[in-house]
Structure 1
Amino acid sequence: MITLYGIKTCDTCRKARKALDTQDTPYRYHDLREQGLDETLLEHLVDRVGLATLLNTRSTTWRSLDAADQQSAKNDAEGARSLMLANPTLLKRPLLDTGDRVIVGFKHDEYADLPH
């Protein structure tokens, strides 16, 4: 089963959900803010796309961190993991896990190629 990870208030996540709904692609939605992020899921995502790709340094959450936490996340993998676990909105989104791969962000062409 395809899983879409995001947050309800994210416009790009809404676009991704609409694209999946429009093309009748079955999926499960996981709201990172409401349902959270655990170590197992984080490691799965890191294994698929890498820590640097997952860390959203343009997010509101990132900008609200103090400089020491930002520096720790940039220079230390464990620091980045800890911050992401404590603040799941630090993950780039949406994240679409097809089982074979994880697509970071909404790319209409990649979503159009998904099985219906």
Structure 2
Amino acid sequence: MITMYGIKNCDTIKKARRFLEDHQVEFEFIDFRQQPIEPTLLQSFVDQIGWDKLINKRSTTYRSLSDVQKANITLELTLKNPTLIKRPVLVTDGNIRVGFSEKGYSDLV
């Protein structure tokens, strides 16, 4: 089973969802805003890919953080500000991918 995490109005999420739907790939979509991410799940993302890949440093939310917060990204901060997470986060068989590209998703079809 494939699970996609993100925010439904995000343009990258829309592209990723459209790609999977167009290729008839079944997946479950979970919106961070409607169903907040569990701390243990977020920690598993961090453990597997690290903060550098997980955090969207181009987001408005990230840019609004203080320099101290940017240097010390924590679970608590990210749980309070889920838009810090780069989207989409795609979980397939325990493997985690962040972001979207057709080439990167080609092995799913």
Matched, 1:111 2:100: no
Q: TM-score, normalised by structure 2?
A: 0.90
Cα RMSD after superposing both structures: 1.4
* Identity fraction in percent: 45
Moved over 4 A (4+): none
Deviates more, 1:23-32 or 1:62-71: 62-71
Could you tell me how far apart the structure 1 residues matched to 2:94 and 2:32 are?
A: 21
Q: What's 1:97 paired with?
A: 91
Matched, 1:83 2:83: no
Q: What's 1:51 paired with?
A: 51
What amino acid sits opposite 1:64 in the alignment?
Answer: S
Q: In the TM superposition, what is the alpha-carbon distance from 1:71 to its structure 2 partner?
A: 3.1
What amino acid sits opposite 2:81 in the alignment?
Answer: N
**SS at structure 1 position matched to 2:100:** coil
User: Which residues of structure 2 form unaligned runs of 5+?
Assistant: none
Could you tell me how far apart the structure 2 residues matched to 1:21 and 1:57 are?
A: 28
**SS at structure 1 position matched to 2:34:** helix
**SS at structure 2 position matched to 1:30:** strand
Aligned residue pairs: how many?
109
